[in-house]
Amino acid sequence: MRLMLHGCAYWIWWKLRAACLKRSPWRRVQFDTLRLHLVKLAATIVEKKTRIIVTLPASCPRKGLLLLLFDALAPPKTA
């Protein structure tokens, strides 16, 4: 079970890193660096029926990167 959870976590980090811009230095960082800069934030998360709302603090140093990742990982919009 631990191996399966570790594999799933690795896949999620790999998808986050792959969602970065091709020439971005974030595309080649180690997973520990991503964890330190992206996960360890003081954000408010509200889960609705059809969407998830993430409110970042006004002084978030990685706000641009997070917004880029949220847009890249969002499901495609239907007409």
- pLDDT value for 3: 93
| pTM for the model | 0.55
Half-sphere exposure of 64 (CA within 13 A, CB side): 4
The tokens describing 16, both together, are 């986050």
From CA 27, how far away is CA 25, in angstroms rounded? 5
pLDDT average, residue stretch 24-49: 81
Residues 6+ apart with CB under 8 A from 31: 10, 13, 17
pLDDT digits (tens, 9 = 90+) for 40-76: 777 888 999 888 888 888 888 888 878 887 787 777 7
Neighbours of 69 (CB within 10 A): 19
The tokens describing 23, both together, are 């020439």
CA distances 43 to 46, 49, 63, 75, Å, are 10, 19, 11, 21
Give domain limits for the chain. Answer: 2-73
